[in-house]
Chain A
Amino acid sequence: MTGTMEQEGKRSRSGFGRWIRSRQGQQLLIIVAFMIIPLTLLIVFTYFPFGEMVKFSFYKMKYATPIDKRKFVGWQNYIDVFRRDDCFGALKLSLYYMVGALIQLVLALYMATILSFKVKGGNFFKGLMFFPFLINGIAIGFIFKFFYTRGFVFDTILAWCGFNPENLPYWLKDQAVNNWSLVATSVWRYFGQNMVLFIGAIMSVDAELYEAAELDGANKWQIFKAIILPSIKTIVTLNIILSITGSLSAFEQPYVITNGANGTGTYFVIMNQIAHTSQKVGLACAMAVVLLVIIFACTLLQKLFFKYVFRDAESEDESYKAKKARLKAEKAAAKAQKQKGVQA
């Protein structure tokens, strides 16, 4: 790309040609050349659709409706979102997923604490628990339809444990349990990934701290409370907040396992049906916009939370911070030395 530009520069011996070959001109050239594709993609597939979404939310229309036949309905779609039982009511299901997400976090933290220290077969268990994250959504749907079918896997295992198979509910049909079944699937799928994150965070804590604590006779719980939790609290809090927005937009499990039947339709499952099955594009857009506003609000709160809560909390464990800073400085110095060696 730069080659043709240079040729152009040679041909025109004007001021522009000289400027384009100067440092500044080159800089501008490379900035434009390197950003044009990603920015075009970003605008075409993210911001333009976003604008369209806001616009469509004020119209009554289908995908195929020509522009002049669209009917402007003002705020009607938004009013419908809050009025219709199937729309806003579906957000209540998010509570199930929030509870599930919290259980998942606690479980992930617990397993991460175990697996960060030496245990037999630790890597094997880590892989076992992480692997579900790599299975595609539709396969998960089939696996769990099979798992929960009456008299199949889950019932068989419960029968081994002494439950009477006759008394067990239909896991995906019975409205008392089916949302919990789906939430369990979500936990099954994502908890390993959460755990790997936490293991990464725990491992990045200076190992000497653990050794010192053990020499001092601290037990596992004390170590967890005094060293592990404070040093990974940022990532834990971040995950708690992410799990809230994640629960609001829960989609995959109900979509692939029950397709929203029997009262399992979360907000996005309903939105998907309204958009692509009943083709009420305006209403679906209004639904999307409402949820996006909620998600933005949550993210904003998160930013504020981090800004004010963690600034105060960080001063408490000054000594730990100071130690970390010292180690970091040492490492940087070592690295610099190494680099010098390479260059020389």
Chain B
Amino acid sequence: MSTMDQTKIKKPHKKYTPGGIAWIVIEYASLLFFGFWAIVPVFSCVVTAFKNADEYKSTSVMALPQNWLNFSNFAKAFTTANMGRAFLNSFIVMICVLVVSVIVGTQLAYVLTRFKFPGNQIIRNMYLLASLLPSVAMQVTVYKIMSSFHFVNHLYGYIIMSCGTDVISIYIFIQFMENISTSLDESAIIDGANYWQIYWKILLPLLKPAVVTACILKGVGVYNEYYCANLYLQDKNLHTIATSLYTFVGPMGSQYNLICAGVIISFLPALIVFLLCQKQIYSGMTQGAVKG
């Protein structure tokens, strides 16, 4: 993937034919047009979040706010939806799920790619099949299992469930592991290393790029997950960031200046992470997609 980023395709700007100029115009026009529609829903939200109640009622939704430093909506949204607690919950869930997924996923990938044993292919196919089952449909019966384990309304129950439904990162690990030469393992064995040492000291450090990719993909997924969180974490103190937004349904249903502030708070961490590691996210998306 890293070689791919370097070879940005160069376009020689030599001569301008009429067709070439027309194409450039169309190119930029479509960029601006679709860029506009991509940003408008979010932009209107940002604008509204800075308006006070009177201003929100009296001005057009697309009119700019009088005071760009009016953070009172953000403060109010943060406290009403108890978002401090929600951030903490989301953070705990994310760290636990990522750590478990990485350890368990790399171990599984190690065993599946390095050893031949009966059932190896069956297990791979089981994961392939599992990736086809839509999560929403599965929750009809997973809910029953969760309640019989008394996992409902406990953070740990939700964490364990989220670790269990992890297929994409396992694929990334398997793919990556297959590209690491087995001669490395063999020479380590000759040097007297046991299998645990090979996994822990040799392969895991080499898997670092795959771990980063998997963490980004899985992290985004866990941070944004709301359906299961809503089903299994109904207690107010257990809301994650995504479900804490549900507080705004009902009594505050039409106070969009407040809701927009809440919405912006909820995706701000994602925005920051995105701005910081765009490259990894893009290449992660590409890798995650070619699992088939």
Contact = CB atoms under 8 A, between A and B. Distances in A.
Nearest to A44: B164
B44 A119 contact: no
Nearest to B103: A37
Contacts of A38: 104-105, 107-108, 170
A251 B44 CA distance: 25
Contact of B41 (A31, A144, A255): A144
B161 A45 contact: yes
B189 to A, nearest CB: 8
A321 interface: no
A130 B60 CA distance: 28
A160 to B, nearest CB: 8
A281 interface: yes
A277 interface: no
Interface residues of A, number: 95
A291 B130 CA distance: 15
A42 B12 contact: no
A210 B9 contact: yes
Given A63-B143, A129-B38, A200-B285, A114 B224 contact: no
26 contacts: A27-B115, A38-B105, A42-B126, A44-B164, A46-B133, A46-B164, A48-B145, A49-B138, A49-B141, A52-B141, A53-B140, A116-B9, A118-B9, A118-B11, A135-B42, A143-B42, A143-B260, A146-B41, A203-B4, A204-B4, A214-B12, A220-B23, A249-B136, A249-B137, A251-B134, A288-B140
Interface of A: 2, 26-27, 30-31, 34-35, 37-39, 41-42, 44-50, 52-53, 56, 63, 107, 110-111, 114, 116-121, 123, 125, 127-132, 134-139, 142-144, 146-147, 151-153, 156-157, 188, 192-193, 196-197, 199-201, 203-204, 207, 210-211, 214, 219-220, 235, 238, 245, 249, 251, 255-256, 268, 271-272, 275-276, 281, 284-285, 288, 291-292, 295-296, 299, 331
By Cβ-Cβ distance, the 6 closest A-B pairs, closest first, are A200-B286, A41-B164, A45-B164, A136-B224, A34-B107, A288-B137
Interface of B: 3-5, 7-12, 19-20, 23, 27-28, 30-31, 34-35, 37-42, 44-45, 48, 60-62, 104-105, 107-108, 110-111, 115, 117, 123, 126-127, 130, 132-134, 136-145, 147, 160-161, 163-165, 170, 194-196, 199, 220, 223-227, 231, 241-243, 245-246, 248, 256, 259-260, 262-263, 266-267, 270-271, 274-275, 278, 282-283, 285-286, 289-290, 292
